[in-house]
């Protein structure tokens, strides 16, 4: 797409999940940002991910992309997610003031993203907000049960407050869009197209060498090779796949991914039926998909599972738990088969149906994936940025200070009623982690002060 100088934008994106971190969100923004830069736009990324500067090896494209890699907390050995936690900080304000963006794109509803949005409101800069993760599902899973309902209420309040200030709201599936509207988002929530790199994820990457490697010394020509790709965490329900293996002794499962939860999972799976190969990227990941016979996945927590589309593009049928996350691109009996969640007999029947019709299903998967391109997704978001761009004159909006106060109070409530009650990973044979930080001096005084702020927050947020 050729743009004249007047329509080239300065776009600031605030995201915690970014290259080289492995996730569907990180993959999406890598592909989108590279394409926007090639269209002539200037992009500035605020993130906490180390190595973000290695986004692309094309010098001309990289010259239009800049980064603010700010201080972030690392929980690699503590939480079920190794994603750096980007803290709200002065660097975010400095990046916005120095870059002078035409539009700010906030990703998810983290403290850093909502802080960035508060600045945007003060400076009268248009906001695009994209919601990718259904925390309504995750909060009850990761927060202690006695406080989880109140924690969920706080989070939904924060999400409602800030998404209703956005100029344009996006999410990745129609079902998640409906959920957001039901939760009080007043403006229409639009579905942002998802793509897949069909040149990278391609049946041509099928490799006998990779296939043997995935069996980890247990290769046999008559065995069925299943592959599952994703972050190893409780909600992904990898344990359920063990039940399928118990009823399918001729099947072997290769799990691609990592995380602290691996220390719980690995002892459960017999080495002659499963192999944890770890993180794979690039052509290795593409080869792992293409060299397997079927893609299996037991999770129903995704709003949109990028891994399904990558597997389909690689020409392998899908066998997965039934869920709304595949609604946008998957057709039962055409691209694979699904099972009723937690029903192992139904899962085995789904796998057997795929075995009976492997070639046709694989062909259908590949053809369908070719209809989902990153170019189309990039063009869609580019049109949105151009649509909401306002005057180059940035006027200070004093009303924005009120949202700083609301942001501050909501963060205090999160610190009080969410963070202390998070379930941390408990790796096997390791002591339980009880603190993420050193003891705080005058602890009772600090808690009393924070409680007062929380009460103030309840008052402010009810009018």
318 and 405 in a single domain? The answer is: no
Instruction: State how beta strands 72-73 and 85-86 pair.
Output: antiparallel
Q: Provide the b/e sequence for 370-409 (b: ≥16 CB within 10 Å).
A: eebbbeebbbbbbebbeeebeeeebeeeeebeebeebbbb
Which of 338, 356, 371 is the endpoint of a domain?
A: 371
What does the chain come to in residues? 463
Q: Quick one: average pLDDT of 146-165? A: 94
Around Cβ 186, how many Cβ atoms within 10 Å?
Answer: 10
Asked if 179 and 136 count as a contact pair (C-beta separation under 8 A), the reply is yes
Structure tokens at 1: 């797409």
Asked if 128 and 167 count as a contact pair (C-beta separation under 8 A), the reply is yes
Which of 454, 412, 425, 437 minimizes the C-alpha distance to 142? Answer: 425
pLDDT: is 438 or 54 the higher one?
A: 54
Sorting pLDDT into bands at 50, 70 and 90, what band is 423?
low
210 and 186 in a single domain? The answer is: no
Residue 77, C-beta contacts closer than 8 angstroms, at least 6 positions apart: 260, 427
Rounded to a whole number of angstroms, the CA Rg of the chain reads 23
pLDDT digits (tens, 9 = 90+) for 321-379: 998 778 788 999 999 999 999 999 999 999 999 999 999 999 999 999 999 999 999 99
pLDDT digits (tens, 9 = 90+) for 226-239: 999 988 888 889 99
- Quick check: 153 pLDDT over 70? yes
Which of 84, 116, 90 minimizes the C-alpha distance to 13? Answer: 116
Fill in the DSSP letter of residue 422: B
- Quick check: 445 pLDDT over 60? no
pLDDT digits (tens, 9 = 90+) for 261-293: 898 999 999 999 999 999 998 899 999 999 999
364 and 392 in a single domain? The answer is: no
> What is the domain count for the chain?
2
pLDDT: is 137 or 379 the higher one?
A: 379
What gap in Å lies between CA 261 and CA 435, rounded to an integer?
19
Using the structure block, give the residue that is written with the tokens 């969410």: 418
Bridge partners (DSSP) of residue 44 are 12, 66
What gap in Å lies between CA 96 and CA 102, rounded to an integer?
10
pTM of the predicted structure, to 2 decimals: 0.85
Q: What share of the chain is helix, strand, coil (3-state, %, to 5)?
A: 45, 15, 40
CATH number at residue 388: 3.40.50.2000
Bridge partners (DSSP) of residue 208 are none
Which of 311, 342, 371 is the endpoint of a domain?
A: 371
Range of the domain at 89: 5-195+376-460
């Amino acid at each position: 797409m050729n743009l004249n100088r007047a329509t080239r934008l300065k776009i600031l994106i605030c995201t915690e999940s970014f290259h080289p971190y492995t996730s569907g969100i990180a993959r999406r923004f890598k592909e989108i940002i590279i394409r926007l830069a090639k269209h002539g736009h200037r992009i500035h990324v605020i993130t906490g991910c180390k190595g973000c500067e290695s986004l692309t090896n094309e010098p001309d494209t990289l010259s239009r992309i800049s980064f603010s890699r700010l201080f972030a907390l690392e929980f690699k050995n503590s939480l079920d997610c190794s994603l750096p936690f980007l803290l709200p900080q002065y660097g975010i304000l400095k990046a916005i003031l120095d870059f002078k963006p035409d539009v700010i794109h906030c990703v998810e509803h983290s403290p850093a993203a909502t802080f960035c949005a508060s600045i945007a409101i003060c400076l009268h800069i248009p906001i695009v907000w994209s919601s990718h993760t259904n925390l309504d599902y995750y909060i009850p899973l990761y927060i202690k049960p006695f406080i989880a309902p109140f924690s969920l209420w706080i989070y939904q309040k924060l999400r409602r407050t800030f998404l209703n200030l956005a100029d344009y709201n996006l999410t990745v599936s129609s079902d998640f869009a409906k959920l957001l509207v039901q939760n009080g988002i007043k403006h229409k929530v639009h579905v942002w197209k998802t793509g897949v790199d069909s040149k990278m994820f391609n049946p041509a990457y099928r490799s006998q060498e990779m296939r043997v490697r995935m069996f980890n010394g247990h290769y046999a020509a008559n065995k069925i090779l299943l592959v599952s790709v994703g972050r190893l965490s409780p909600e992904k329900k990898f344990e359920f796949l063990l039940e399928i293996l118990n009823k399918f002794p001729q099947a072997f499962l290769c799990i691609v991914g990592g995380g602290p939860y691996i220390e719980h999972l690995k002892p459960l799976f017999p080495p002659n039926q499963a192999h944890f190969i770890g993180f794979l990227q690039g052509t290795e990941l593409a080869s792992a998909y293409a060299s397997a016979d079927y893609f299996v996945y037991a999770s129903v927590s995704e709003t949109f599972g990028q891994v399904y589309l990558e597997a389909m593009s690689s020409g392998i049928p899908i066998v997965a738990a039934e869920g709304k996350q595949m609604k946008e691109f998957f057709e039962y009996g055409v691209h694979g088969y699904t099972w009723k969640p937690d029903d192992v007999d139904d899962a085995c029947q789904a796998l057997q149906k795929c075995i009976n019709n492997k070639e046709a299903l694989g062909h259908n998967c590949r053809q369908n994936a070719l209809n989902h391109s990153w170019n189309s997704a990039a063009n869609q978001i580019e049109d949105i940025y151009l649509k909401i761009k306002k005057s180059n004159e940035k006027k200070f909006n004093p009303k924005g200070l009120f949202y700083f106060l609301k942001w501050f109070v909501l963060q205090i409530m999160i610190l009080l009623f969410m963070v202390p009650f998070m379930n941390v990973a408990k790796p096997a044979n390791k002591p339980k982690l009880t603190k993420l930080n050193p003891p705080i001096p005058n602890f009772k005084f600090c808690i009393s002060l924070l409680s007062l702020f929380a009460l103030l927050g309840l008052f402010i947020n009810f009018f």
